[in-house]
Homo-oligomer: A and B are copies of this chain.
């Protein structure tokens, strides 16, 4: 594992990360019901000797604009060795479900600039930083919201490439999965995965940490 004995991993993001975690700090029994809890269980059951401390700091509804506002207290102050960031689906979604509320939209330029600034500000203080692309379950790439998600994912990949951050991209696993079943079998809103989807995200992050 790239992550080593007694190190701390902070996971930050939106509702896909949050999943009912404890406040103010999500740890142990307060990791919520999503991929952070699964990742912790994978690390703890496969590598109990490493004693990795996993902390979930996701907040439902967040965009990258919200992450910026709480980055100091919710990431840097916790002094993690590793940080994982999965953000962007709300930045996209608000453009489609709240078209008349433009103050809720985080457009590509702001998304790109804000996320890259957070990454560059953080990397000197941590051993590793992992970017996770946002997931959207509509497999029709012509759907405007899916297309927009793909655009934001490309931004994430671009930032990772230029900053040297690690990258996890769970979307292909989802797309493959839906060659066997309709996305409605996982999620009525195409955004919030069931435990199978969270397992795919956790696997993607685990592999990125393992490589």
Contacts and interface: CB of A to CB of B under 8 A. Distances in A.
Interface in A137-157: 140, 142-145
Given A37-B195, A182-B144, A199-B41, A97 B188 contact: yes
Interface of A is mostly: helix
Nearest to A144: B182
Contact of A145 (B6, B98, B184): B184
A61 interface: no
A105 interface: no
Most buried by B among A99, A184, A189: A184
Contact of A188 (B49, B173, B188): B188
A98 B31 CA distance: 14
A189 B182 CA distance: 13
Given A37-B195, A140-B142, A185 B99 contact: yes
A109 B199 CA distance: 37
Interface string A7-46: 0000000000000000000011101010001101110110
Interface of A: 6, 27-29, 31, 33, 37-38, 40-42, 44-45, 48-49, 51-53, 93, 96-101, 140, 142-145, 173, 176-177, 179-182, 184-185, 188-189, 191, 194-200, 203
